Amino acid sequence: MHKPAITIAEHEVEISAIRAQGAGGQNVNKVSSAIHLRFDIAASSLPEHIKERLQKLHDQRITKDGVIVIKAQAHRSQEKNRNEALQRLQELVDSVAVLPKHRKPTRPTRNSQRNRLDSKATRGNLKRMRGKVSAT
């Protein structure tokens, strides 16, 4: 099954450079290499069904206002972090673009029902054997 190609317009993404957190010495303290990406779902040019599915996602990167916030700080270079943040945004949008396969409800086969009941009976017998032995 192919994935529908959904492109995100560059002007709809708000990117700002910030200082990265954590260890890294002078480079982290001086250079703003981390990227903070914001993408407003409602104001975007995405198709309506994809906007709705993004809003319904229970993802910690999506705020209550419907803004996707992604922070990338894995690399030392700002350009690599920028590319990673854009790639993560694209992956998030692509994940809702593919509709889940509709499940056809099926009934268990007669043999699978028989096997299930047999295993339950076997298990019950095993548990019954663990009981106290009566002196009759």
- pTM for the whole structure: 0.67
Mean pLDDT of the chain: 88
36 and 88 Cβ atoms separated by less than 8 Å:
no
Return all residues near 94 (Cβ < 8 A) that are at least 6 apart: 3, 6
- Which pLDDT value is given to residue 1? 46
Q: Which amino acid is at 99?
A: L
Give the pLDDT mean for 30-50. 89
Q: State the residue range of the domain holding 69.
A: 10-97
Residue 28: CATH number of its domain: 3.30.160.20
Determine, yes or no, domain membership for 133: no
Question: For the chain, what is the domain count?
Answer: 1
pLDDT score of 32: 82
Range 56-66 average pLDDT: 89
